[in-house]
């Protein structure tokens, strides 16, 4: 059986993959995301390309292993919202999202000795019409500076939304486990 590798430094993806009770190693992919984003193109294509590059970058170093690469972006009006990084940017993103629907696109690429399996999950989220005070309180309480869209749906961020349409709620956090489980089973991993 091949080793399973998560091509990611994301603590959120590591926590999600741990739920499957499979032994895995997390390895930094070393992909320059800015280069892919600068090349432009539709948001979905950018996210899918980043997932593929992350998976293949690690697999190039570990060719006999199974490598999971993933990328995610919050998308408003066709534009990718980067991780905010600062409180001011998080507040600005949430102000732009309030009262509106946006998409959270999560792409996965699983490289293995016989090729690559790819899939993408798109979640539609409608944010409540939040006041400036509500946004400020949320950002101060949860500090979502490393999250696409400036919210942590697995925590207090769920209170920001009036509607969430998703095939797999784990995709919102960063790794769609339902479809990933099917893919890993097809590659010989034992899951319930």
| Closest C-alpha among 126, 122, 174 to residue 147 | 174
Helices (H) and strands (E) in the chain, counts: 7, 7
Q: Whole-angstrom Cα distance, residue 165 to residue 172? A: 10
Q: Nearest Cα to 15, choosing from 152, 134, 165, 110?
A: 152
Phi then psi dihedrals of residue 66, to 5 deg: -100, 125
Which residues on adjacent β-strands are paired with residue 163?
Answer: 126
Catalytic residue IDs: 71
Q: Would you report the helix, strand and coil content of the chain in percent, each value rounded to 5?
A: 40, 25, 35
Give me the count of residues in the chain. Answer: 192
């Amino acid at each position: 059986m091949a080793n399973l590798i998560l091509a990611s430094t994301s603590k959120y993806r590591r926590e999600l993959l741990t739920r499957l009770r499979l032994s895995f190693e997390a390895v930094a992919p070393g992909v320059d995301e800015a280069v892919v984003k600068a090349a432009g193109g539709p948001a979905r294509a950018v996210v899918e390309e980043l997932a593929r590059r992350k998976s293949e970058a690690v697999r190039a170093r570990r060719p006999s292993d199974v490598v999971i690469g993933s990328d995610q972006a919050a998308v408003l009006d066709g534009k990718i919202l980067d991780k905010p990084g600062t409180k001011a940017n998080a507040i600005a993103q949430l102000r732009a999202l309030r009262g509106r629907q946006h998409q959270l696109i999560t792409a996965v690429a699983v490289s293995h000795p016989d090729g690559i399996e790819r899939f993408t999950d798109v979640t539609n989220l409608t944010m409540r019409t939040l006041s400036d005070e509500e946004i400020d309180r949320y950002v101060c309480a949860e500090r979502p500076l490393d999250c696409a869209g400036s919210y942590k749906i697995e925590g207090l961020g769920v209170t920001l939304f009036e509607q969430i349409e998703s095939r797999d709620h784990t995709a919102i956090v960063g790794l769609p486990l339902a479809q990933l489980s099917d893919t890993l089973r097809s590659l010989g991993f034992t899951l319930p």
